[in-house]
Copies of this chain bind each other. A is one copy, B any other.
Amino acid sequence: MKHYQQLAINNADELCFGRAPKPLTTRRGMVIGGGVVYPELNFTLPAMVVDASTMPLVRRHYQEIITGALKRAVELQAPGVVIEFETLPPMTENPDWGLDVVKILLEGMEEAWSKESLKSVLRVTPNDNRDFMRPPQMRGGKYWEQMLTLFDESAAAGGELLSIESVGGKEIHDDALLMCDIGQVIFALCVLGARDMQFLWTHLTEIADRHGVHCAGDTACGFANTAMALAEQRMIPRLFAAVVRAVSAVRSLVAYECGAVGPGKDCGYENPILKAITGYPMAMEGKTAACAHFSPMGNIAAATCDTWSNESVQNIKLLGGMAPTCYLEQLIYDCRIMNRALADGPDSSLAYRKLLVDSDSSLDPQAFILAPENILAIARAIVESDDYYAAGKAAAHTAISLLRDGHKNGQLKINPQEIVWFDRIKEGIESLPDSEEAFISQQLAQVDRSRFLPEEYALSES
């Protein structure tokens, strides 16, 4: 397993949309990170039950989605499209159903390619059902087996990019968020999460290698995006959500250490940090994912993206057309601006990146840490750390320091009721033990042990 000890991108000016030091070439010749930003379309079913009896209707929906969306992509002369299929729980539980949909999508993509020369590539993202057991069984059992089967068969069928929103540690992290307990957050992400990622992504790399496809990446969706959603609803401080985001990079990075090569999955707002560390291209989402969630990073998220996504939208009819098609149109136009700037050269790209960054960075802590210089500072703190725990602590510490400095020198506005949280978070971080070993014993003594099984994370009692 690779361990990153330095950054692939050291200069903030090189951290820009559309260009990654290690681009990825797909079978149909899309070069992700090679100078063109591609739209990445996501979608889901409207309100309906998924079971054997509704599968014909389910198939009809995905058929309609892919046909309608790609037709519009041809009309708009998109340079290529990434299609992401995130399964719903019953489709991972019944891998045949998931595979059915994979094949429907691939057929639609093949038709657009053969008839209209539209390039596209499929990202398959089986949903992680392992926490349907409580406490979750992470390393075996039917949920694990079904999930691996779906990965394997999808890769065999032509799903070229493998992703997942894995959930190791989430059983502890939800409560940690509500209590704003930074220690438990780091335990969930950098101890439980990182160990689960190692186990999981080692298996996924094996599958990808077997079929000649790519491990793309994971996301801290269930962790840092939950924090973001709670912060948007003013349930927890935005400052805390920003720090969680920084810590989450440590966990998501493990996929790349195990062999993933990007594009990192769209909803990982920690992806810019991973791009700086690994040099691999990254999917991102922002304003044009408002269909799926509100976000304080609508523009700045695009500043360093290599594909640009809408996260998810139901297949329902808007006035203009089916919602996935409408959203693909919006993504294509967003990408056209970036691709124009890329074609005009680095000055133009950086000028546009500056607009994207400056339009958001002063208004929210989560946006602030995505400014290129701040990304590099957090990335550096991570690669200079010796283990995941140290990296999590360093990322958190760097983030809160950047935020405090930004606020002090007027670069960052903060709601008055958040101010007390600068100290609370900082003290929380500084009170943590020095060694990972001490930290793990401390946490094992504190957390609700009924919620998780240490052996599922290869954690022995100390």
Contact = CB atoms under 8 A, between A and B. Distances in A.
A211 interface: no
Interface stretch (A130-138, A182-190, A285-293): A285-293
Contacts of A286: 333
Given A286-B333, A290-B330, A298-B329, A314 B318 contact: yes
Interface of A is mostly: helix
A236 interface: no
Interface stretch (A354-362, A383-391, A428-436): A354-362
Interface in A287-321: 287-296, 298-299, 312-314, 316, 318-321
Most buried by B among A72, A290, A363: A290
Contacts of A316: 316
A76 B289 CA distance: 15
Contacts of A458: none
Tally of this chain's copies:
2
B313 A291 contact: no
A339 interface: yes
Contacts of A294: 72, 75, 320-321, 325-326, 329
A355 B359 contact: no
A323 B318 contact: yes
Given A293-B320, A314-B318, A319-B312, A75 B351 contact: no
A5 interface: no
A256 interface: no
23 contacts: A44-B319, A286-B333, A287-B333, A290-B321, A290-B326, A290-B327, A291-B318, A291-B319, A291-B326, A292-B318, A292-B320, A294-B321, A294-B326, A294-B329, A299-B336, A312-B319, A314-B318, A318-B323, A336-B359, A337-B356, A339-B359, A344-B355, A352-B352
